[in-house]
Structure 1
Amino acid sequence: MPKLRVVSYNVRGLKDDRAALGEVIRDLAPDVLFAQEAPRRFRWRHKCAELARSGGMLYASGGLPGLGNAILVSMRVTVEEAWGLRYPLTPGRHLRGAAFARCSVAKVPFLAVGTHLATDDTERPAQAALLAATIREAGGTTIFGGDINETEGGSAWRTLADTRTDAGATNQTPTFSVTNPSRRIDALFADKTCTVTSYSVIDTPAVRRASDHFPIYAEITL
């Protein structure tokens, strides 16, 4: 069965060193990249395409439709369908959502899902529940990544990890922040039918310049 190289990465709105960001992505050479805080406003299509090009990848889903979540893919991956999910807006809060892409690699189908949950403790559980229900309704083998904005003890994390493999469960290396690493709040999950063969939190000089989050990397066999 095919193996995917998968990365989840909060790119902080491309506010940092963009050349370093492209270098990080190219060095990791993922088949699927879940990007949080990707372009979502003015000229978002052009900016998402440029982000993909800088890392040697292709745009698959997200941007404005994913409310700042984007999914990028390598040439190995075929994208069949793409759409976005909008979480209910709490007045005065940040509008958030998720990006979806129905894909295949070596003719094996899978659903890719990327999200960025709220920083507010009262919003996250409902967002996670809606995302989990939407994934169930969509069906198929699912891999997804995101900035969960809480650690594995939180209820939103538990909702998303339920019946799935947390790729970093045995590796508690913090993913945030690069200046003061203290919390594992970024995650990659895969259906139990998949096998996670490796996982790591990437730390290089370029990573330190590219964003305030460390990218997380996993190899997942569908």
Structure 2
Amino acid sequence: MPQLRVASYNVHSLRDDRQALAEVVRAIDPDVVIVQEAPRGLRWRTRCAALARQFGLVYAAGGLPSLGNLILVSYRVRVYGTGALRYPLTPGRHMRGAAFARCVVDHAPFTVVGTHLATDSAERPGQARELKKALADLDAPVVLGADFNEEPDGPSRRLVAEGLTEAAGADPAGTYPVHAPRRRIDGLLVGPGIEVRGYRVADASPAHRASDHFPIVAELTLPARSQG
């Protein structure tokens, strides 16, 4: 059965130690990294490509079109379609969205989705509803990485998670902030048919210098492609 290692990481708009950031991701050795707060402004293509090179990965989707959500992959993952979603703008608030990449690894199709929901509890539910609609239209097993800005029992996160599995399960380890990680606001969710073989918060020493969030990592088994 096809195996996949996926990480989700809010990189704090690259404000921290970039060398430590690259060290963290390279140590994870992921097949897919779902990034929040990636470059989305001036020279975003060049900056996203540079970030991918630092991580030892390649650009798959995201950046400006998805408002700072970025999907990077290893060479064993083939990307055959991409998309972006922009949530309705609330006047005076930060515009947000989601990135999508349709992928194949070892002949098994899957769709990667990355998003970063609002810090405002009044704004998040509308974004969650838009995301849920988009997820319903996908026809391959889903891997969703997100900074939900909400704990697993929050209403917006619960809505998005309906029909999906939280890779963390009952693991209580927090992901934010790195100096006192009390909150588990970052999540990896997977669709039916995907088995979660392992999950961890990557809190090794360099991660304390790399961002204000810890990355999260899941070891997944994808459903084999049906024959016929």
Q: Look up the equivalent residue of 2:149 and give its one-letter code.
A: N
Q: Look up the equivalent residue of 1:72 and give its one-letter code.
A: L
CA–CA separation in structure 2 for the residues paired with 1:173 and 1:140: 29
CA–CA separation in structure 2 for the residues paired with 1:96 and 1:139: 24
Aligned to 2:164: 164
Residue 212 of structure 2 aligns to a residue in which SS?
coil
Kindly provide the CA deviation profile for residues 91-140 of structure 1, in whole angstroms up to 9, marking residues without a partner as x: 00000000000000011111100000000001111111111111111322
User: Structure 1 segments of 4 or more deviating over 6 A?
Assistant: none
Residue 174 of structure 1 aligns to a residue in which SS?
coil
The equivalences for 1:171-190 within 5 A come to: 171-190=171-190
CA–CA separation in structure 2 for the residues paired with 1:219 and 1:160: 21
Residue 130 of structure 1 aligns to a residue in which SS?
helix
Give 5+ residue unaligned stretches, structure 2.
Answer: 223-228
Residue 144 of structure 1 aligns to a residue in which SS?
strand
Tell me the CA shift for residue 192 of structure 1.
2.2
Kindly provide the CA deviation profile for residues 44-82 of structure 1, in whole angstroms up to 9, marking residues without a partner as x: 001111111001000100000110000000011000011
Aligned to 1:12: 12
Aligned to 1:151: 151
Q: Look up the equivalent residue of 1:176 and give its one-letter code.
A: Y
Residue 190 of structure 2 aligns to a residue in which SS?
strand
Aligned to 1:84: 84
Contact 2:141 2:192 in 1 (8 A): no
Is 1:45 the counterpart of 2:42? The answer is: no
Kindly provide the CA deviation profile for residues 11-54 of structure 1, in whole angstroms up to 9, marking residues without a partner as x: 01111000110111110011110000000000000111111100
Kindly provide the CA deviation profile for residues 165-192 of structure 1, in whole angstroms up to 9, marking residues without a partner as x: 1001210100000012110000000012
Residue 205 of structure 1 aligns to a residue in which SS?
coil
Tell me the CA shift for residue 5 of structure 1.
0.3
The equivalences for 1:94-173 within 5 A come to: 94-173=94-173
Q: Look up the equivalent residue of 1:157 and give its one-letter code.
A: R
TM-score by length of 1: 0.98
Residue 134 of structure 1 aligns to a residue in which SS?
helix
CA–CA separation in structure 2 for the residues paired with 1:221 and 1:138: 19
CA–CA separation in structure 1 for the residues paired with 2:99 and 2:61: 6
Q: Look up the equivalent residue of 2:174 and give its one-letter code.
A: P
CA–CA separation in structure 1 for the residues paired with 2:170 and 2:57: 29
